[in-house]
Structure 1
Amino acid sequence: MPLLSPLRRLSDAVNQLAIVLCVACVLIMLGISFTAFVYKLATGSTLSWTYSLARLFLPWIGFLSMTISLRYGEHVAMTLLVRSLPRPLLKAAAVLCLVVIAVFALMLVWYGWVYFEGASQVYMVSDQIQVHSKFTAIVVPLSGLVILLHLVQGFDLLEHFIDDQSTIDELIESTDREERP
């Protein structure tokens, strides 16, 4: 399919962007926490807004890391059980798994959008810092869209088709090459 290759490249690019956003969120959280720590050391009092502001990044980290782990096949899977199936049933189980992932992603988009539209609160982090709840709500449908995009990778998302014996043989060969003088 000529459309599949550009979509797979887009999936990879979106995955790289998600990685950058996750790292940025973690660094921002660490920066906020470090600021609170240094302020506490310097003055002996605490900044009331640091905890509230830092935790606003947790949904972003959680939902985006979910899409990243899916892309690398690190999601929850019953690999041992599925690999013990005959090849035709293995393919059927893999297709079923992808369908379940697609349904989950569609539910994230559908219900996440309803949640986003209904988000009307403003988080009062402090008197000066106010963050609209839409900031955290938008990540739910956004992650659903990313998961749907990652589905263009097909069976590459699943580790059911990795041949363990060939992987073990490759590891043994690379170790043997390193030991030879």
Structure 2
Amino acid sequence: MRFLKPLRRLSDWVNQAAIVLCVACVLVMLGISFTAFTYKLITGSSLSWTYSLARLFLPWIGFLSMTISLRYGEHVAMTLLVRALPRALLKLAAALCLGVIALFGALLLWYGWGYFESARQVYMVSDQIQVSAKFTAVVLPLSGAIILLHLVQGFALLEHFIDDESVIEGLIDADNGEKRS
């Protein structure tokens, strides 16, 4: 299991990069929207390309956010039901959950790559701005690969194994430490 430690660090690094990329996409979308708003306010007419260009970032935000939420255990889970299970069944349910996540990541990678390769169309944002569909299609296999990479975190991805009491105590201790400084 010595090889898991560098893979977990890589998973953490990729997660941080995904967070930065998501924030950048949101900021670009806001910048485009603010540009459209300011232009309309000043001139009274609107820019035709702003909406079309801004929405090209939505798949990036959606799919990368999915990988980020998976890494922090914020995905859909039946925590109450699963925590009611005996410990042996809990581990079996967690393993099955990780298996389903792995299958989803693999399918996203496999079919997403095919979709990316076949993406030939060009989005005509305006007469001057043309964006290849590959720009939005590449996020599918990329997010599948990130999901598969995050699986090296194991049961830490699943909310069922988080001890609520220790999390609450950790938050209280962190809050007390901030008040002292």
TM-score category by the smaller chain? over 0.9
Aligned twin of 2:26: 26
Residue 168 and residue 42 in structure 1: after superposition, are their counterparts in 2 closer, same or farther (change >3 A)?
A: closer
1:5 aligned residue: 5
Shift of 1:163: 2.1
- Structure 2 counterpart of 1:43: 43
Q: Please state if 1:114 is matched with 2:114.
A: yes
> Could you tell me which residue of structure 2 aligns to residue 148 of structure 1?
148
Question: Counterpart in 2 of 1:162?
Answer: 162
Secondary structure of the equivalent of 2:2? coil
Paired letter, 2:138: I
Show the counterpart of 2:133: 133
1:120 positional shift: 0.7
Mapping for residues 58-73 of structure 1, pairs under 5 Å: 58-73=58-73
In 1: Cα distance, 2:39 partner to 2:176 partner: 54
> What 5-or-longer segments of structure 2 have no aligned partner?
none
CA RMSD, Structure 1 to Structure 2 (Å): 2.0
Task: Please report the TM-score for the alignment, with normalisation by the length of structure 1.
Answer: 0.93
Q: C-alpha displacement at 1:161, in angstroms?
A: 1.1
The CA distance in 2 between the partners of 1:174 and 1:23, in whole Å, is 26
Inter-partner Cα distance in structure 1 for 2:25 and 2:172: 39
Instruction: Give the CA deviation at 1:162.
Output: 1.6
Measured at CA, do residues 3 and 40 of structure 1 come closer, stay the same or move farther in structure 2, by a change above 3 Å?
Answer: same
SS at match of 1:45: coil
- In structure 1, C-alpha distance between the alignment counterparts of 2:47 and 2:174, rounded to whole Å: 53
* 1:35-67 C-alpha deviation (Å, 9 max, x unpaired): 000000010000000000000000000000000
The secondary structure found in structure 2 opposite 1:47 is: coil
Please report how far the alpha carbon of residue 170 of structure 1 lies from its aligned counterpart in structure 2 after TM superposition: 5.8
Give the Cα separation in 1 of the matches to 2:166 and 2:35: 50
SS of equivalent residue, structure 1 residue 75: coil
* 1:159 Cα deviation after fit: 1.0
List per-residue Cα deviations over 1:82-110 (Å, max 9, x = no partner). 00000000000000000000000000001
Which amino acid in 1 is paired with 2:125? Answer: V
Which residue pairs with 2:76 in the alignment?
A: 76
Number of residue equivalences: 179
Which amino acid in the other structure matches residue 88 of structure 1? A
How far apart are residue 143 of structure 1 and its match? 0.1
Q: Which moved more, 1:163-172 or 1:94-103?
A: 163-172
Give the share of equivalent positions with the same residue, in percent: 79
